[in-house]
Amino acid sequence: MTETRLPTLSRRALLGGTTAALSLPFIRPAAAQGAPIKVGVLHSLSGTMAISETALRDTVLMMVEWINGKGGILGRRVEAVVVDPASNWPLFAEKARELLQVHKVDVTFGCWTSVSRKSVLPVFEELNGLLFYPVQYEGEEESRNIFYTGAAPNQQALPAVDYMMSADGGGAKRIALLGTDYVYPRTTNRILRGYLNSKGIADADIMEEYTPFGHSDWQGIVSRVKRFAGEGKRTAIVSTINGDANVPFYRELGNQGIKAEDIPCVAFSVGEEELAGIDTKPLVGHLAAWNYFMSVKSPANAEFIEMWHKFIRNPRRVTNDPMEATLIGFKMWTQAVAKAGTPAVDKVREAMIGQKLDAPSGYTVEMHANHHLSKPVMIGEIQADGQFNIVYKTPNAIPAENWSRFIPENANRRRG
């Protein structure tokens, strides 16, 4: 059994610092009394998804330090219990059960891929645990034991495709759907295919390909995209590629000279953290659709970035959308615990509905009865420095429609 509890281990041991001489202090304990409130952290720290999920583990630890610096919650300090499901989907369920039954956590923040979330969902429902899930996903789900702080398709995928088909986005008439082979890309692309058909895009003008996690040989697929785009219609790539496969994918785009002005690519799972390991100069002008970018100018974002750099002890480390969603979920959870007067799941679940927060995105976001947030939609262009220039954003936060009208069997379900 592997666990990490704070504040009994130093930040250095948990953050995996690269400088041997660096000695990070212990996380300051709160001045609170009584049994700690336990927070589970269920993110992959090894395997193909570690490139994305490690920063979310660190974000939760930062928020634990933040709340303990304020004296904890309800006069009690908060303690994090960290486990590593290692990008192994069945192991996610085992680790979720360990957090709930062995460590008796009051809440868990975790998962990235939909397959990991679907692996743990029955465990949280069986044991009446509470999971905050911070990543965009395909929708078609609603659970009393999960709060979804990432985007539903109407808050990311559909607006992104609208933008790519618009004059500002290049006026695409053909779409190449490239994804990792699991539930999120396949379901999202099913929704997108129905949406594109409704907009007059025929199936012959939609290319769809999937690759396994960790896929590294992109030469053939990128070549096929070039041939697809060379048949006389303006083409765009919509990417639901996840994890470390993005590094060789973007490298191959550069190798084959695919520039944004020729075949623009919009990604749903690539943000600042993923770009930190890539030479972004050949990728300038390609796009990502999120609900937050580090380049947002707002007081709440300046505070978020300052908090992150102070915690991580590295001013070059970036923030990204799932980190913001983690922060939002954590702060809303603390507000709900304070309102309920207890960390008990049933009381917190009730208190979560209607919680509001002035988010780093610069928008006020709200938790709705379907356990999804209202969120803004933003589209950003990759810059040479690995940041994004925001080229589009909605005027207001948009409520999530977690059931899509383009999935026939769920078309009549309540969407908001």
d(CA 201, CA 204): 8
Segments of the chain scoring below 70 in pLDDT:
1-33, 415-416
What pLDDT, on the 0 to 100 scale, is given for residue 415? 59
What pLDDT, on the 0 to 100 scale, is given for residue 155? 98
Q: Which residues of 279-293 are buried (b: 16+ CB within 10 A; e: fewer)?
A: ebebbebbbbbbbbb
What pLDDT, on the 0 to 100 scale, is given for residue 411? 74
pTM score, two decimals? 0.90
Q: Quick check: 249 and 218 in contact, CB under 8 A?
A: yes
d(CA 251, CA 257): 10
What pLDDT, on the 0 to 100 scale, is given for residue 28? 43
Judge if 4-150+296-366 and 154-295+377-410 fold alike in CATH terms: yes
Q: Quick check: 182 and 113 in contact, CB under 8 A?
A: yes
Three-state secondary structure of 164-193:
HHCCCCCCCCEEEEEEECCHHHHHHHHHHH
Number of residues that this document lists for the chain: 416
d(CA 66, CA 63): 5
What pLDDT, on the 0 to 100 scale, is given for residue 33? 67
Q: For the chain, which residues make up each domain, given as ranges? A: 4-150+296-366, 154-295+377-410
The alpha-carbon radius of gyration of the chain (Å, integer) is 21
Q: Mind listing the pLDDT tens digit for each residue in 8-49?
A: 344 444 444 332 222 333 344 444 468 999 999 999 999 999
Contacts of 101 (CB under 8 A, 6+ apart): 127
d(CA 371, CA 91): 25
What pLDDT, on the 0 to 100 scale, is given for residue 24? 34
- 4-150+296-366 CATH pick, 3.40.50.150, 3.40.50.2300, 3.30.70.20, 3.90.1170.50: 3.40.50.2300
What pLDDT, on the 0 to 100 scale, is given for residue 369? 97
Q: Quick check: 365 and 359 in contact, CB under 8 A?
A: yes
Helix (H, G, I), strand (E, B) or coil at 314: coil
Residue 321: which of 157, 145, 135, 167 has the closest Cα?
135
- Looking up tokens 């615990």, which residue turns up? 337
Class of domain 154-295+377-410: alpha beta
Q: Mind listing the pLDDT tens digit for each residue in 69-97?
A: 999 999 999 999 999 999 999 999 999 99
Label the pairing between strands 131-133 and 146-148.
parallel
d(CA 163, CA 157): 10
